Chain A
Amino acid sequence: MRVYLEFAKKSFQNNMVYRMDYFAGVINAIVMIFVNISIWKAIYEEEEILEGVQFKILATYIVLSFLMQIVYMMDEYFIEAKVRSGLISSDLLKPIYFRLYVFSYHAGTMIFKLVMQFAPAIILSIFLFKLLPPFSTVMMVCFLLSAALGYLVLYNLNFIVWISSFWFYWTFSLVTIKDAAVMIFSGALIPLWFMPQGLVNFIKLTPFDSIFYTPIRIYLGMVPADEMVSSIIRQVVWVIVLFGIGQVLWKLGTKKLVVQGG
Chain B
Amino acid sequence: MVFIEVKDLVKEYKLNIRNKGLLGSIKSLLIPEYQLKRAVDSISFSIERGQTVGFIGPNGAGKSSTVKMMTGILVPTSGSISIGGLSPYKDRKKNTSRIGVVFGQRTQLWWDLPVIDTYELLKYVYKIPEKIYKSNLEMFSEMLGLQEFIKQPVRQLSLGQKMKADIAAALLHDPEIIFFDEPTIGLDVIAKEKIREFIKQINKEKGTTMLFTTHDMVDIERTCQRMIIIDKGMKIYDGSVEEIKNKYGKDRILAVEFSQHYEKINIPGVELIEEKGNKKWFKFAKDKTQVSDIIHLLTQKYGILDLTVQEPEIDGIIREIYQGGINLHESLSRVC
Contact = CB atoms under 8 A, between A and B. Distances in A.
Interface in B18-51: 18, 22, 25-26, 28-30, 32
Contacts of A12: 22
A13 B32 contact: no
B14 to A, nearest CB: 15
Nearest to A18: B29
A9 B22 CA distance: 9
Interface string A3-45: 0000001001100110100100000000000000000000000
Contacts of A22: 29
A93 to B, nearest CB: 23
Contacts of B28: 16, 19
A19 B18 CA distance: 12
A17 B30 CA distance: 10
A132 B18 CA distance: 40
B97 to A, nearest CB: 37
Interface residues of B, number: 8
Interface in B303-336: none
B26 A16 contact: yes
Nearest to B30: A19
B22 to A, nearest CB: 7
Nearest to A115: B26
Contacts of A17: 18, 25, 29
Contacts of A13: 22, 25
A19 B30 CA distance: 7
A19 B32 contact: yes
The winner among B28, B29, B30, B32 for most chain A CB atoms within 10 A is B29
Interface in A65-115: none
B156 to A, nearest CB: 16
A16 B19 CA distance: 11
A32 B29 CA distance: 23
Nearest to B18: A17
A92 to B, nearest CB: 25
A161 B78 CA distance: 52
B25 A16 contact: yes
B83 to A, nearest CB: 37
B24 to A, nearest CB: 9
A62 to B, nearest CB: 28
Contacts of A19: 28-30, 32
B186 to A, nearest CB: 15
A16 to B, nearest CB: 4
B267 to A, nearest CB: 50
A9 B30 CA distance: 19
A13 B30 CA distance: 13
A17 to B, nearest CB: 8
Given A17-B25, A17-B29, 13 more contacts: A9-B22, A12-B22, A13-B22, A13-B25, A16-B25, A16-B26, A16-B28, A16-B29, A17-B18, A19-B29, A19-B30, A19-B32, A22-B29
List 6 A-B pairs, minimum CB-CB distance, nearest first: A16-B25, A16-B29, A13-B25, A19-B29, A22-B29, A16-B26
12 contacts: A9-B22, A13-B22, A16-B25, A16-B26, A16-B28, A16-B29, A17-B18, A17-B25, A19-B28, A19-B29, A19-B30, A19-B32
Interface of B: 18, 22, 25-26, 28-30, 32
